[in-house]
Amino acid sequence: MNRNVTQKAINLLIVWFIFLPCCVFASIYTPLNFSQVPVANQSSSAQNVAIKSALQNVLIKMSGSVQILDAPEVTALLKQSRAYVEATRFIANDTLTLEVEFNESKLHTWLKRNALPLMSDTRPETLVWMIVDEPSNSERMLIGDGNISTHHSMLRDAFDRRGLQVSLPLYDLTDLSQVNEIDIWGQFVDVIFESSRRYSPDYVVAIKLFVNQELNWQLDSFIKTEHSLQLGSYTGADEQSAIMSFVNDYAEVIAQEYAIDTTLFAKGEQIKTLVTIDNMGSLTDLAQVTAYLKGLNIIEQITLQSQMGQRSTFAVSLLGPPEQLAKLIQQNAKVLTLVDKTKNSESHFRGDETEDLSQLTGQASRPSMEPLPHLYFNRMP
């Protein structure tokens, strides 16, 4: 690609980012900067209490863990809750509710400056196979994607409170030919996990919800990935509390795996790496992929470094290790697929094979004696 075409690509990127809808950079799953909390009345003092509670909820979603509320920095932040509010509105439900929208960018910066964990907006997908044995019903009930029920809403609300995406099986002919009610009630791990492959989830969860001998609601579960299995049992006075107890524990498991350590940012440091993406067939592809990468919280800065045909190479500053970036990208395989570097070792550029765009991007070239970590991906067609 000659310099004129490259300059046009950069100009297009500038126009793209100026007019790009805000939803492109919003959370890929649930909005993380919103929270709905009960409020005693519409007075200013009651709103202040509700806003603090809402900010606590948002911090838990953004960091991935309730442990963030133990940080001493959070105590000081909560005293300035209103400074981070973008908008509020009252909702007339069974109880008066206040919906609070916080400035997501400001909170991200605050978390990073205080070296607190930050979860990426791109979060793992969870497929839940759920069966409920309710005393008032004569039959056990499967909770599927098209099943609009109280338990369906409870499950989705619980995941939403922790900023996690959840999906449920369709229970179409394909599902029913592979898994049945007995498999889910008996929590047959292998059968359920194999039947889940068509959905390509990151985590497979099975939930059995029933009333035990002590007349408490009990939730038995398993969490399964390709390489791990975790069993659990929870009880509660009602279905909602049992479901919420499970989801809270599950969210902590996800946070341990995916939360970004922002200590480097707090120290004014980042990890430098190169990201090469093949099959970039148009300027639109280039703009879309750049917007996607820029929206990942682990990426602090990204610059197009070189372009050769359909191969784009970006210089990237990271808050975490390159391996974590690869993991986050692979969670959304509809955009990019990881290339096996052992089969593409010849793909590492030599200085005379690439077009140096440092003059166009305003970035200084890195000395060749310090090779950067290099990640390779393919653009999905």
Query: In whole angstroms, what is the distance from residue 64 CA to residue 58 CA?
Result: 10
120 part of a folded domain: no
Q: 66 in helix, strand or coil?
A: helix
Sign of torsion over alpha carbons 44, 100, 243, 246: negative
- Report the run of H or E that residue 89 belongs to, with start and end: strand 85-92
Give, in order, the Cα–Cα distances in Å from 41 to each of 52, 97, 114, 180, 284: 15, 9, 34, 48, 49
pLDDT tens string 129-184: 999 999 988 899 999 998 778 999 999 999 999 999 899 999 999 999 999 999 99
114 part of a folded domain: no
Query: In whole angstroms, what is the distance from residue 292 CA to residue 330 CA?
Result: 13
Q: Are residues 242 and 135 in the same domain?
A: yes
Q: What is the pTM (predicted TM-score) of this model?
A: 0.74
Q: Are residues 336 and 322 in the same domain?
A: yes
Q: Are residues 253 and 149 in the same domain?
A: yes
**pLDDT above 90 for 329:** no
pLDDT tens string 195-243: 999 999 999 999 999 999 999 999 999 999 999 999 999 999 999 999 9
Query: In whole angstroms, what is the distance from residue 126 CA to residue 199 CA?
Result: 10
Q: Are residues 162 and 132 in the same domain?
A: yes
- Domain of 204, CATH number, reads 3.30.160.100
Alpha-helical regions (H) of the chain:
3-19, 44-63, 72-78, 104-113, 150-161, 173-178, 181-185, 189-195, 239-258, 263-266, 283-294, 322-330, 358-361
Q: Are residues 140 and 43 in the same domain?
A: no
Both tokens assigned to 262? 């922002």
Q: What are phi and psi of 223, to 5 degrees?
A: -120, 125
pLDDT at 240: 97
115 part of a folded domain: no
Q: Are residues 216 and 286 in the same domain?
A: no
Paired sense of beta strands 165-167 and 125-133, if any: parallel
Q: In terms of residue numbers, what domain contains 325?
A: 3-25+264-379
Q: Are residues 184 and 202 in the same domain?
A: yes
291 part of a folded domain: yes
Domain tally, the chain: 3
Do 98 and 54 contact (CB within 8 A), yes or no? yes
Q: Are residues 220 and 271 in the same domain?
A: no
Q: Are residues 19 and 60 in the same domain?
A: no
117 part of a folded domain: no
* DSSP annotation of 28: S
Q: Are residues 254 and 362 in the same domain?
A: no
112 part of a folded domain: no
Q: Which of 44, 67, 102 is the last residue of a domain?
A: 102
β-pair partners for 97: 38, 91
110 part of a folded domain: no
Q: How confident is the model at residue 351 (pLDDT cuts 50, 70, 90)?
A: very low
More confident site: 20 or 314? 314
51 part of a folded domain: yes
